[in-house]
Structure 1
Amino acid sequence: MRVRSRLALLALTLLSCLPQARADEGMWLPLLLKQLNEADMQKKGLKLTAEQIYSINQGSLKDAVVQFGGGCTGEIISDQGLLLTNHHCGYSQIQSHSSVEKDYLTKGYWAMNREQELPNPGLTATFIVRMEDVTSQVLAGVPTKGIVEAEREKLVQVNSQRVAQAAVQGTGYQAFVRPMFNGNEYYLFVTEVFQDIRLVGAPPSSIGKFGGDTDNWAWPRHTGDFSIFRIYAGPDNKPAPYSPDNKPFKPRHHLPISLSGVQPGDFTLVFGFPGRTNEYLTSWGVDETYSLSNPAKIKVRDAKLKVLDADMKASDKVRIQYAAKYASIANYWKKWIGETRGLKKLDAVRVKQQQEAQFQQWAESGDEARRAAFAGLLPELRQHYATVRDYTLARDYVTEAALGVELMTYANSLLPLLDMADKKVPLEELAAAAEKTRKGSVGFFRNYSAPTDQKVAAALLPLYANGTPAALLPAYVKNLQKQYATTGWSAYAAQLYSKSRLTTQESAYAVLDEVAKGNVTNLRNDPAVQLAQAIVTTYRQQVLPTYTAATDNIALLQRTYVAGLRLQQPERKFYPDANSTLRVAYGQVAGYQPADGTQYDFYTTLDGIMEKADPTNPEFEVPARLAELYKNKGFGPYAYKGTVPVAFIATNHTTGGNSGSPVINGRGELIGTNFDRNWEGTMSDIMFNPDRVRNITLDVRYMLFVVDKFAGAGHLVREMTLVGGPGSEAATPENGKKLEKIKVKRKPAKEKA
């Protein structure tokens, strides 16, 4: 009896340690909300049904959500295709329209009529038409045993392409298939991609980037991180290339905007395209991230950012050229720092080890089939992580340090021309390739400063040489280490940039003209090409084969591990890792305690902007117009307790790609735009903690205030559907009917130039 009692107690202890689907954790597939999440969401305050969030047959919230470009989210906020996203998501488009003379980055931009809305070649907005579980079709004919991962992936890709093509045959739609649960399931996504997206409005950087890198990934936050675009369509309201004859897109649904604000405990839904998470990573994967990969990447980016920062402050031209690049580099640099600290705070490696011990016991205590499938899994995973460790480090130093030098990236893009010449392809093919490369170089040189890049090279090349495991460092680079042991890498960089013909557009084009005529001598002998060729060749021959083989084996075993976890914990609701597909995350408005003795409130206001104001620091400059509005209390209907709300936090599980996602209340109304996470919660890509993870949202009332009162673009506000303000009532669904859209009646705002 005592033995049985001890066994029962042990079983209860093990069950209590198993990872559960904790409150507000998860990035859920909209297709499965009805069966997995609807009841829980409604318990937390959702007034809608799952069908009103995701529907194929009628307009639903999904029809107001787009993937903006390739890495952000946007939401439709008018029946004329007006699109709201983050300022940092539209940053590269704002930069592309900027110059020293027309500095829209610094001063902002507002189109006061349709003719002033600016086209953005290459920018897209992608709607999800429908999604479908196609696991059986994708895995048809794919062996479950006796096949290497690379061969399995080829079969999966062939089947996926066939499924996607069949799904859109005879339509104007596009389609793709994505793996879920590490390849245990596959889902089809049918999309409609719009190509004519025009810039409508963007606040000045002193609003859109207020707080800069100091406040990035931090709370409290006071950044007006938004920009506004518009989708245009052909005469049939279908996607069409840019044309001045295109008309504003008419969506199936646009989000009504609530003026009611938020309070602690209010339901929040984030609808968007989260990029990448690794929630089911093993302890060895966490350790690789925490102790190896992140520190190396942080060190390299820290060095690069210091160089760029100094040169951008010294030159307006360089500042505009490198604005988007700097922001991109800095964003994940700071995120990795926070992630590493967060994983340490949670003792993530030990927690994962405990979970793995429980899994191992479950595997070994099962029947013969279970033991055969899972008992040897974790030891094998550990071995492959040990094998790949040095190769992961070498890969990180190539991608971050060596190819973090733009001259190396450009030289690497020219190496295929040498391969073609060595293979003696017909001259017309070589000439065509050279011309294509030449055309593709225009954007590179437009945003390139050779003197700045030379300083970057002097800083990054020694990090690459010293950080790469010696056995995986090219002999060419080892010789440079010896040759410049006394004078240093700065001397090498000076010589490299003085002798290379790839540092200016004129001389690079001259080299390409020679290649087009069949003469590749100067390209082959260029010192930048020689260095890039040495680095890339060594990487492809000595690093990539072992790295690929080991990571393929890890992927195969990880897929089996995730399948085993789902068998081990049949009562747990599992969600697939983010992979840039449409997801729903839900939670509630809440403050948090970041450290002992410190408590953060759930919202910030315009008062905080004025408190942070510092005219000597570009990150905390406040526009004179904003200061004037604050002084005169010119807040209009956007006021709350005598000021204007700026941002709020909630417990939603988000990641990169959720930038620009609509944050929606329980009635299906827009209350804000997601733009960041708190620094203490950045480890949520690997390990979620409900007490520490918060998503940061721009309060929609601050966006409206800036557009209406600051910019004088009241015509844009009048285009939107506002609900919940004075003289109106909230829009509420009724028995599954289409969401009401109630206009707020108020005097038109005066438009100002």
Structure 2
Amino acid sequence: MNKIKIYLSAIILLITCSVRADEGMWLLQLMQEQHSIDMMKKQGLKLDVLDLYNPNGVSLKDAVGIFGGGCTGEIISPEGLILTNHHCGYGFIQQHSSVEHDYLTDGFWATSKDKELPTPGLKFTFIERIEDITDLVNKKIADKEITETESLSREFWGKLAAELHNQSDLKEKKGISPQVLPFYAGNKFYIIYRKVYSDVRMVAAPPSSIGKFGGETDNWMWPRHTGDFSMFRIYADANGEPADYDASNTPLKTTKHLPISIKGINEGDYAMIMGFPGSTSRYLTVSEVKQRMEASNAPRIQIRGARQEVLKAAMNASDKTRIQYANKYAGSSNYWKNSIGMNKAIVDNNVLGTKTEQEAAFLKFAREQNNEAYQKVVDQIDQAITSTQPLTYQRTCLSEAFLMGIEFRTSHLLLDKMKEAIEEKNTAGIDSLKDSFQKVFDRIHNKDYDHEVDRQVAKTLFPLYAEMVPSSEHPAIYTVIAQEYKGDYNKFIDDMYDNSIMSNQENLDKFLKKPTVKALDNDLSAQYSKSTLDKFQELNKLMTPLQDELDILHKTYIRGLGDMKLPVPSYPDANFTLRLTYGNIKSYSPRDGVHYKYYTTAKGVLEKEDPTNREFNVPAKLKELIENADYGQYALPNGEMPLCFLTNNDITGGNSGSPVLNENGELIGCAFDGNWESLSGDINFDNNMQRCINLDIRYVLFILEKLGGCGHLINEMTIVQ
């Protein structure tokens, strides 16, 4: 047995031994393989391992899935009712909103199933099966079917997933989507079979003054008073299988749903979270952490901050614009503030010092083991980072400013096809492309786009990018601006936004009436789009071999760190696959003289109320309920209404919406945020500072019943008192 297999076997055998119970995003399938959850039981768990994950039967994992494309949701009734965060459902709530039906401001409550709203594009994904394919991948490498570098490529994962799915008993099942992914930097591989439902309907969403109470001011902060939840429902065909929307579809009869506990919680109680954490980088070197700070976070902070100022001013001036850009602004600002907090926490929590100590210990271990690969690997990573640092910085600036910041882009490929058709006098081809031009125009000028707002964004970001990136590295469009517009960004942008073919319907109609090569060649939007895409591809071409080298080095480094830690097991970085983290309900003390208790109550909503600030508006009906202490069965013994609570669970982005479960596997809350002091947690876990901010399920039920008038939804649920 080689060292890789010894290392992986040790992980499987020791996954719950000798580890801090609150650190780690653990793979459920490894817990199942070794049939031991002693550490979790010591923390208070009363379930058995097969209750958590059972590949041959029903378990808790069957009530948890991927909501949309980047969050977690849980099933809370036998009829496919989903609970997730308000911020996870936000884009879909916004999708249904208009000035006439402003569900973002007013909330939405379906008082019966026939009022639930079909939501095109929204999917819910269950995990059907997980299989270990490490030996298969290693054999392909050994037999020289693929190289080690190819084994870490998305192209290989996709081909292997299709190959294995075609050989499996699931190939004829509806909605099955196979996915191959590496774990431990490629020291282990799994295939994950996912079952995707595409008819998901909106059921309930509180107004943003509840679901986003505190807005950006309170984001990542504690104490918190945000009712961050929304509800949707899965619909299926007559056989309970995935199907596109059809009026004849019915609510999915789920095999598992989570019972809901309103018994209450106390500090120290067991708490576990099951969900899909998106991405962590716990095994970075010092040089890589510095690169994250300087080449990724810093430019993101600067560019997004500038763009958000433009959007916020426009949103404050118009309800129409506010609704159009609500989801875009929220998505941008979330990781803008996260980047600010991460850079601060890296310094405050001495992450670089911790990483330096880890590298010194690793080098000592490598020398003791007389392992040359381990001895050299950190220096090799550092050398690769020296080469990638400027490229990473440039790519971040380019992506943030042009690929994500400015929305107005015209596909030069479409224009090239039209040019070719005109030159060849291909009348049929020209007529066919006219339809494509109109479709592209409609995609650009969709209901959530404002050409004038985007123009102001462009006028802000074009000169900002020029200041941040050396002129020798600018896309070619900057040469056009310098030579033809004498460096006047505003003049160039106005020309592009006024006169490009896709600028407005009048311009498009004029072009389609008489398409010419000259008009295509002179189109500024296409020139701009092509030049920024060319620069992005140029940077990627330079970075690809360096990244391939880093991938192999990381595989060695992470294997070595695992060897060094034995018999203590290591957990793999998050990669948006199903994980379980466990710990306890717990307060914390972030600074000298400051102590935060583990829960907040509704009285804090009124303490924060500010009618002049949209972030802290309180709906009149909620205010009345709080002032009258009209909480029904959901109040604490002292009459107060619990709102949010803290646990020390190890979570990150993607865990938003995850169920927080007690020792019996009963739902006690919904995870929605991390705390400001631990935003370096994606890089280094701090047991003293890391906290998960959760919405108390009793507040969810209180809002549903008392404010939303949705007692029928509560009647669907299994309530444990």
With structure 2 as the length reference, what TM-score do the two structures score?
Answer: 0.92
- Kept after mapping to 2: 8 A contact 1:269/1:584: yes
User: Which residue does the alignment assign to 2:23?
Assistant: 25
For the residue of structure 1 that corresponds to 2:141, the secondary structure is: coil
User: Which residue does the alignment assign to 1:171?
Assistant: 173
For the residue of structure 2 that corresponds to 1:122, the secondary structure is: coil
User: What is the 5 A alignment of 1:52-71?
Assistant: 52-71=51-70
User: Which residue does the alignment assign to 1:624?
Assistant: 620
Provide the rounded CA distance (Å) in 2 between the counterparts of 1:237 and 1:498: 51
Provide the rounded CA distance (Å) in 2 between the counterparts of 1:148 and 1:480: 45
For the residue of structure 2 that corresponds to 1:375, the secondary structure is: helix
- Kept after mapping to 1: 8 A contact 2:71/2:276: yes
User: Which residue does the alignment assign to 1:381?
Assistant: 381
> Structure 1 pair 471/604, CA: closer, same or farther in 2 (3 Å)?
same
Provide the rounded CA distance (Å) in 1 between the counterparts of 2:437 and 2:133: 39
- Kept after mapping to 2: 8 A contact 1:142/1:155: no
From 592, 597, 619, the counterpart of 2:593? 597
Letter in 2 for 1:319: R
User: Which residue does the alignment assign to 1:111?
Assistant: 110
Provide the rounded CA distance (Å) in 2 between the counterparts of 1:345 and 1:534: 40
> Structure 1 pair 203/131, CA: closer, same or farther in 2 (3 Å)?
same
User: Which residue does the alignment assign to 1:14?
Assistant: none
Provide the rounded CA distance (Å) in 2 between the counterparts of 1:400 and 1:499: 25
From 566, 576, 579, the counterpart of 1:580? 576
Q: Which segment drifts farther, 564-573 or 314-323?
A: 564-573
- Kept after mapping to 1: 8 A contact 2:294/2:393: no
User: What is the 5 A alignment of 1:654-669?
Assistant: 654-669=651-666
Q: Deviations over 1:709-743 (max 9, x none)?
A: 1111111111111002xxxxxxxxxxxxxxxxxxx
- Kept after mapping to 2: 8 A contact 1:36/1:573: no
Provide the rounded CA distance (Å) in 2 between the counterparts of 1:252 and 1:334: 39
> Structure 1 pair 666/481, CA: closer, same or farther in 2 (3 Å)?
farther
> Structure 1 pair 506/85, CA: closer, same or farther in 2 (3 Å)?
farther
User: Which residue does the alignment assign to 1:557?
Assistant: 553
User: Which residue does the alignment assign to 2:710?
Assistant: 713
Please state how far the C-alpha of 1:293 moved relative to its aligned partner.
1.7
Please state how far the C-alpha of 1:662 moved relative to its aligned partner.
0.6
User: Which residue does the alignment assign to 1:100?
Assistant: 99
Please state how far the C-alpha of 1:138 moved relative to its aligned partner.
2.8
User: Which residue does the alignment assign to 1:570?
Assistant: 566
User: Which residue does the alignment assign to 2:608?
Assistant: 612
User: What is the 5 A alignment of 1:117-516?
Assistant: 117-143=116-142, 147=147, 149-150=149-150, 153=153, 154-155=155-156, 157-167=158-168, 168-172=170-174, 173-367=176-370, 370-371=371-372, 373-408=373-408, 410-411=409-410, 414-420=411-417, 435=435, 438-439=438-439, 442-445=442-445, 446-478=447-479, 480=481, 488-504=488-504, 507-508=507-508, 513=512
From 631, 635, 640, the counterpart of 1:635? 631
> Structure 1 pair 113/462, CA: closer, same or farther in 2 (3 Å)?
same
Structure 1: stretches of 5+ with no match in the other structure: 1-19, 725-753
> Structure 1 pair 493/198, CA: closer, same or farther in 2 (3 Å)?
same
User: Which residue does the alignment assign to 2:696?
Assistant: 699
Provide the rounded CA distance (Å) in 2 between the counterparts of 1:268 and 1:437: 54
Please state how far the C-alpha of 1:505 moved relative to its aligned partner.
5.1
For the residue of structure 2 that corresponds to 1:549, the secondary structure is: helix
- Kept after mapping to 1: 8 A contact 2:157/2:180: no
For the residue of structure 2 that corresponds to 1:560, the secondary structure is: helix
Q: Deviations over 1:403-430 (max 9, x none)?
A: 234345x32xx12224545777987678
Provide the rounded CA distance (Å) in 2 between the counterparts of 1:137 and 1:508: 54
Q: Deviations over 1:152-196 (max 9, x none)?
A: 635554334312332332323322111111111111111211111
Please state how far the C-alpha of 1:375 moved relative to its aligned partner.
2.5
Provide the rounded CA distance (Å) in 2 between the counterparts of 1:711 and 1:110: 6
Q: Which segment drifts farther, 115-124 or 133-142?
A: 133-142
Please state how far the C-alpha of 1:439 moved relative to its aligned partner.
3.4
> Structure 1 pair 557/506, CA: closer, same or farther in 2 (3 Å)?
farther
Provide the rounded CA distance (Å) in 1 between the counterparts of 2:428 and 2:130: 44
User: Which residue does the alignment assign to 1:44?
Assistant: 43
Letter in 1 for 2:173: T
Please state how far the C-alpha of 1:93 moved relative to its aligned partner.
1.0
Provide the rounded CA distance (Å) in 2 between the counterparts of 1:31 and 1:565: 22
- Kept after mapping to 1: 8 A contact 2:213/2:226: yes
- Kept after mapping to 1: 8 A contact 2:277/2:651: yes
Please state how far the C-alpha of 1:479 moved relative to its aligned partner.
5.4
> Structure 1 pair 458/598, CA: closer, same or farther in 2 (3 Å)?
same
Q: Deviations over 1:190-235 (max 9, x none)?
A: 1211111000111011111110000011111111111111111111
Structure 2: stretches of 5+ with no match in the other structure: 1-17
Q: Which segment drifts farther, 125-134 or 151-160?
A: 151-160
Please state how far the C-alpha of 1:632 moved relative to its aligned partner.
1.8
> Structure 1 pair 155/720, CA: closer, same or farther in 2 (3 Å)?
closer
Please state how far the C-alpha of 1:106 moved relative to its aligned partner.
0.4
Q: Deviations over 1:88-146 (max 9, x none)?
A: 11111111111101111100011111111000111111111121111122333225999
Letter in 1 for 2:467: N
For the residue of structure 2 that corresponds to 1:90, the secondary structure is: helix
Provide the rounded CA distance (Å) in 2 between the counterparts of 1:557 and 1:468: 29
Provide the rounded CA distance (Å) in 2 between the counterparts of 1:552 and 1:36: 36
Provide the rounded CA distance (Å) in 2 between the counterparts of 1:49 and 1:437: 59
Provide the rounded CA distance (Å) in 2 between the counterparts of 1:155 and 1:137: 13
- Kept after mapping to 2: 8 A contact 1:390/1:469: no
Provide the rounded CA distance (Å) in 2 between the counterparts of 1:659 and 1:350: 30
For the residue of structure 2 that corresponds to 1:642, the secondary structure is: coil
1:545 aligns with 2:547: no
Provide the rounded CA distance (Å) in 2 between the counterparts of 1:105 and 1:443: 23
With structure 1 as the length reference, what TM-score do the two structures score?
Answer: 0.88
Q: Deviations over 1:10-46 (max 9, x none)?
A: xxxxxxxxxx954411111111124386111111111
Provide the rounded CA distance (Å) in 1 between the counterparts of 2:36 and 2:611: 48
Provide the rounded CA distance (Å) in 1 between the counterparts of 2:557 and 2:617: 51
Letter in 2 for 1:406: I
Q: Which segment drifts farther, 444-453 or 616-625?
A: 444-453
> Structure 1 pair 37/117, CA: closer, same or farther in 2 (3 Å)?
same
User: Which residue does the alignment assign to 1:531?
Assistant: 528
Letter in 1 for 2:171: Q
- Kept after mapping to 2: 8 A contact 1:402/1:464: no
For the residue of structure 1 that corresponds to 2:679, the secondary structure is: helix
User: Which residue does the alignment assign to 2:74?
Assistant: 75
Letter in 1 for 2:606: M
Provide the rounded CA distance (Å) in 2 between the counterparts of 1:300 and 1:76: 39
Please state how far the C-alpha of 1:354 moved relative to its aligned partner.
2.0
Identity value in percent:
42
- Kept after mapping to 1: 8 A contact 2:141/2:148: no
Letter in 1 for 2:325: Y
CA RMSD of aligned residues (A): 2.3
Please state how far the C-alpha of 1:449 moved relative to its aligned partner.
0.7
Provide the rounded CA distance (Å) in 2 between the counterparts of 1:256 and 1:701: 13
- Kept after mapping to 2: 8 A contact 1:197/1:231: yes
For the residue of structure 1 that corresponds to 2:660, the secondary structure is: strand
